[in-house]
A and B are shown apart, each in its own frame.
Chain A
Amino acid sequence: MSPGQLAWERACCALDLLAANPKRLRGMTVRARSGPVRDVFLEALTKRFGTIQKIHPAISRDALLGGLDFTETLATGRIAKTKGVLERDGLLVLAMSERCPPELAAIIGARVDADDEFCVVLLDEGSEPDEAAPTAISERLAFHVSLDGIGRLEAKPPPKRRSSGDLDEHSLIGRKVGNDPARENLTRLAAKLGIDTLRIPYLALHAARAHAILEGRSDPNSEDIQKAAELVLAPRALHLPEPETPEQAPTESNPESKSNSDGETISDDMLIEAVQAALPPELLENLRNSQTSRATGTGAGQRKKGNRRGRPIPSRPGRIDGKSRLDIIATLRAAAPWQAVRGRLPDGPLKIYPSDIHLKRYEERSDRLIVFAVDASGSAAMARLGEAKGAVELMLARAYATRDHVALIAFRGSEAELLLPPTRSLVQTKRRLAALPGGGGTPLAHGLKAAAELGQRAQVQGLTPTLAVLTDGRGNIALDGSANRAAANTDAETMARWIRSLGIPAVVIDLGNRPQAALATLAATMDAKYIPLPRATAERMHDALETAMDHGLGT
């Protein structure tokens, strides 16, 4: 069978299991771009579940949680509420879940916890590895299905599952669970795969049981456990288990040997093989550089939109001036208690006085992002990489005080690397910074390019970026990767001009032992403030950064 067929079969199996026991398995994450394959899958999903409610991440709170139906309330004279999406029956499908804000994720996650009947399918259209459905929801759902790499022809509508013995709740609840080896096997395996939360092995356990019952068995055997490991654990693996060291065994040998004697157990190795086979290829890729791919690090928090443009704040009484928007509900609310006093006739119109008028108010705030581009080349390391790190740390402490977001880019050798995407977690920033090794050429142009690109992306997201470039200015790697000093300088200059054209304010901090005229010129091209480190105190650097940021906010 081709890999595509295998993946498709796995996806269909997850669907069957979910349909069999939605109360325990709670839902799935479907990672795929929209396309015919996903359409076939969603159609199958609709067939199994009947009603489906599709929502998107920008859904308003009223639509989600329900609110007061004002027309109805006024007409009938008693409270009428609209039902929010979360209060209605049916499977909830969250489209574009990779863009789900953490608040929404938390609300839906809490709902999954609170209500047995509530199932969620997250459609994850993320294209980058760090774009993913919010863990606050996805870790409460059993399955994670990736439809990437499945050909249109391989995606045949799944046949209706032959269900041997209907899976009714009675067969699951209240029955005696003896010494189920699945519990131990799956928990152990999850720990080995680096899955921290205990929700996942628990979901895997139920997946194994559901599979067993669909196959007509009352207790899960090794095949069911393997299937559960494939479907539930594999997509969440953070690292592949290391070969067991025999030294560890003696301390735990007692319980282990006991469980081995209790009926059927399967070796972990077998399970690990099953998991390995089920790992999607891009995941293996991630596993290799597991430092950056620790999935927990790319939680929703980092991608949190800084710009809460127009967060509504309570409306205020005011006069209609043609510019502000009338808050009808607040106005009616203000007028309502007085209707009897104002002598409104039973069927007459509402009596609204000018003093009832409430106007909507919005608060707009744009969060700031400081992008640190740090030169970690050999020459800079020679100079004062350590001091640069110290300087960044000082600025980070200030950034913490002003609740700014920070991002960290390092450039050395022949490329620039985004060590930390925009985040507010300063501890992480510091950790990455401390771990930053020095050495190699100085790809200054790469560094500037990466910083500019990040800044541009941040602008699109509504953040206000500021660049802080720390370098010794001895760029010697051109953008095409060649070690050509002249070309490197031209490229750096081009990038500097680009940054200027983007209107991103910047500060250049010279790490060299003595100030360099070339770097000062480059800074001028970038329209950035230039500070030579020998004379830089934390105070001065911060002031410079602060001025640059104010300048940025002003434009």
Chain B
Amino acid sequence: MTTAFPFSAIVGQDDMKRAMILTAIDPKLGGVLVFGDRGTGKSTAVRALAALLPEITTVRGCPVNSEKPKDVPKWAEIETKETVTRPTPVVDLPLGVTEDRVTGALDIERALTQGEKAFQPGLLAHANRGYLYIDEVNLLEDHIVDLLLDVAQSGENVVEREGLSIRHPARFVLVGSGNPEEGELRPQLLDRFGLSVEVRSPDHIEERIEVIKRRDAFETNPKNFLRRFRPKDKEIRERILLARENLSSVATKKPILRDCAQLCIALGADGLRGELTLLRAGRALAAYRGDGTLERAHLKAVAPVALSHRLRRDPLDEAGSATRVARTVEEVLG
């Protein structure tokens, strides 16, 4: 896959698209988990998002994408102070990856050829200031999950092995996708995702036909197709940039905070992370829509994606937590 399918050409799946846009506006939201049926365009959307994201400035050659020369870690041995712009990194964490590859490890080549002890940065380093994408996240091996949990929490990767002692920043937006049939996710990992979205194959036949038509048009003549959707993609990108600027000026009134808290209490969401994410997501949405104040309407729109995976899970509730959230939102916010 050389060129990514344009983000704006994805048919339907509005929840998923919106959640991804929100994380692009506020990376501190903590990522998205996309769970759902096969063949619904989960990975397509992630790749599309990568192409949509604005560029970042980094020091040339810096393995952890530092913004300023003073942030470049010493072990990287980079002299240059020159900065370049590059696309936001979106790093794939493939299944079956080794621990070494994730955290970084001793650079064997240098060790063998020069007898030097040097650090070879891993995927976590490359994903700094960008996105870390895990497809089939529920099949990830336990020891890799443990590792990720720790880093996603602290924003720092600490490597203490093979006589190396290295730490470097690893702040990334975690994007996971998976198919619930293959197994569920550990609650600890679930909690690390800011937003969670359930996707489903479109029910409407016309929508399905449109999906096939667009996919076909894209694969038969990618150039034309991209030209058709480029303006729309650009529009979304500009709105994201604008929203980032406006994010800090979105006013949050006291009653809204109370609403957040009430909602979380009514749902029995664990911890305070729920409130915080709800608030952040609401603000990001307000900024995206160009509204100056956080309103109840914003909370209502983001509550299902921000809270559904934080409920004290009732494994036997068939209705699905998203429905439960929607119900409670109606009750609390009216």
Residue numbers of A with Cβ under 8 A of B are: 24, 61, 64-65, 68, 73-74, 77-79, 102-103, 106-107, 110, 113-114, 135-136, 139, 172-177, 180, 183-184, 186-188, 190-191, 196-202, 205, 252, 255, 296-297, 299-301, 304, 311, 313-314, 333-334, 336-341, 393, 396-397, 400, 424-427, 430-431
Contact = CB atoms under 8 A, between A and B. Distances in A.
A198 B205 contact: no
A426 B313 CA distance: 12
Contacts of B108: 68, 73, 79, 333, 336
A336 B111 contact: yes
B82 interface: no
Contacts of A299: 179, 181-182
Contact of B208 (A107, A198, A304): A198
Interface in B1-15: 1
Nearest to B206: A255
Contacts of B116: 337, 340
Given A106-B139, A313-B143, A196 B162 contact: no
The 6 closest A-B pairs by CB, nearest first: A340-B115, A197-B39, A400-B315, A199-B39, A106-B136, A337-B111
B205 A78 contact: no
A336 B112 contact: yes
B211 A198 contact: yes
Interface string B88-101: 00000011100100
A61 B96 CA distance: 7
Contacts of B182: 102, 106, 136, 299-301, 304
22 contacts: A24-B219, A68-B108, A113-B43, A172-B220, A173-B220, A174-B221, A183-B213, A187-B208, A197-B38, A197-B39, A198-B208, A198-B212, A198-B215, A301-B182, A304-B182, A313-B143, A333-B111, A334-B162, A336-B106, A337-B162, A393-B316, A396-B316
B139 A426 contact: no
Given A172-B220, A196-B37, A299-B182, A107 B95 contact: yes
Given A425-B181, A426-B315, A187 B205 contact: yes
B216 A177 contact: yes
Interface of B: 1, 37-41, 43, 94-96, 99, 106, 108-109, 111-117, 135-136, 139, 141, 143, 162-163, 179-184, 201-202, 205-206, 208-209, 211-213, 215-217, 219-221, 313-318
Contacts of B318: 427, 430-431
B332 to A, nearest CB: 26
A117 to B, nearest CB: 12
Contact of A426 (B181, B215, B316): B316
Nearest to A430: B316
Nearest to B115: A340
A301 B209 contact: no
B322 to A, nearest CB: 14
A425 B316 CA distance: 10
A167 to B, nearest CB: 15
B50 to A, nearest CB: 14
A144 to B, nearest CB: 15
Name the prevailing secondary structure of the A interface residues. Answer: helix
Contacts of B106: 333, 336-337
A397 B315 contact: yes
Query: Could you say which of A106, A107, A136 has the most chain B C-beta atoms within 10 Å of its C-beta?
Result: A106
A183 B212 CA distance: 7
Contacts of A114: 1
A396 B315 CA distance: 8
A432 B57 CA distance: 55
A225 to B, nearest CB: 13
Given A252-B205, A340-B115, A397 B316 contact: yes
Contact of B162 (A78, A136, A333, A341): A333
A416 B114 CA distance: 69
A424 B43 CA distance: 25
Contacts of B316: 393, 396-397, 426-427, 430
Given A106-B139, A184-B209, A198-B40, A341 B115 contact: yes
B163 A199 contact: no
A197 B211 CA distance: 11
Contacts of B95: 103, 106-107, 110
Nearest to B208: A187
